[in-house]
Amino acid sequence: MDGILPLWKPKGWTSHDCVMKMRRLFGTKKVGHTGTLDPDVEGVLPICIGRATKIVPFLTDTKKTYEAELLLGFSTETEDSSGKLVERKGVTEPVSDERILQALRTFKGEIEQVPPMYSAVKVNGKKLYEYAREGKLVERPIRHVQIYDIQYKREQTSFDENNQTQRISLNIICSKGTYIRTLCVDIGKTLGFPAHMSHLVRTATGSFTTPDTCTIEECEEAVAAGEKEALLAPIQKGVDHLPVLEINKDEVEKILTGQKRKRPDNIVENKPFRVEYKGELLAIYQIHPDKTEEIKPVRVLKQGEM
């Protein structure tokens, strides 16, 4: 059984928990997720099953869409609402829409981020959260990520005079590896206040959106009814963001056996692309790194595995 399960990850579950659950339900070890979500965050988490695990890196490397909420007024050690308070500075009057919009504009495009101490990023072979739990602060690598769009949701923004806080709601489209927690903290700094991420939901990963998803409970029910295969999207949906090269029948066997080929004139960017025959995905290829006049396979879906 091969395909992509568009799972709605529930709060309280790690991405690894979801993988282990699907291994049991689908009876296979060949299961992989496509972008970690923190335990406190719910949302779209495509799970690749069977031969779909071959395209995990390509589905992981897609745009992610989030509904996020940041709270101005205090920061926490984890950069979200689960952590201990670090700094407080009350918001005594509402921050204007104009100031918020001006701040958000500075975060569009490529930005630098320093991963939070409470994250799984490794430094010297050890995860940052392990250092954090030991009370150690280590130098963290700067990341470059892309914010494709960031929209301010005025109607869901509120000022709390009693607690001297202000909630700001956002829709964010970003690259893989973006820490929304850190983005919220950095937006707060730009506005002159300590801040943290108070709520987050992932609403899309690549082509998979909220309406496509199924819950853990729905997965269990489908398995019990012998209908689990109906939950799976085709492997091709996980790479439909990649450019496509259509080939003729004479080239099919050569592609399926992973042969290098002469680079077609229409392949100009050194990025992975789909190779298809009559709309059927055969392989992922890219321009040869040393021989730019050739293309070479990155992943091949062998005959009988499609």
- Does domain 3-62+206-238 fall under CATH 3.30.1950.10? My reply is no
Identity of the amino acid at 279? G
Position 35 confidence tier, pLDDT thresholds 50, 70, 90 = confident
- CB burial class (10 A; 0-12, 13-18, 19+) of residue 63? middle
- Quick one: how far is CA 13 from the chain centroid? 16
Share of the chain above pLDDT 70, in %: 98
Supply the pLDDT for residue 302. Answer: 60
How far apart are the C-alpha atoms of 104 and 98, rounded to whole Å? 10
- Between 141-155, 179-193, 259-273, the lowest mean confidence (pLDDT) is in 259-273
Between 133 and 306, the higher pLDDT residue? 133
How far apart are the C-alpha atoms of 54 and 305, rounded to whole Å? 11
Supply the pLDDT for residue 162. Answer: 96
Q: Residues 160-189: what's their mean pLDDT?
A: 97
How far apart are the C-alpha atoms of 107 and 19, rounded to whole Å? 33
Position 305 confidence tier, pLDDT thresholds 50, 70, 90 = very low
Closest CA to 74 of 201, 197, 200, 199: 197
Domain spans of the chain, in order of start: 3-62+206-238, 64-200, 242-300
How far apart are the C-alpha atoms of 241 and 257, rounded to whole Å? 24
User: In the predicted model, is pLDDT for residue 34 greater than 70?
Assistant: yes
DSSP one-letter code for 191: H
Closest CA to 200 of 22, 108, 64: 64
Supply the pLDDT for residue 270. Answer: 84
CA atoms within 13 A on the CB side of 156: 13
What residues are annotated to the active site? 38
Buried b (16+ CB within 10 A) or exposed e, 247-271: beeebbeebbeeeebebeeebeeee
- Does domain 64-200 fall under CATH 3.40.50.300? My reply is no
Question: Same CATH fold, 64-200 and 3-62+206-238?
Answer: yes
CATH for the 242-300 domain, from 1.10.3720.10, 3.40.140.10, 2.30.130.10, 3.40.50.300: 2.30.130.10
**pLDDT tens string 42-55:** 999 999 999 999 99
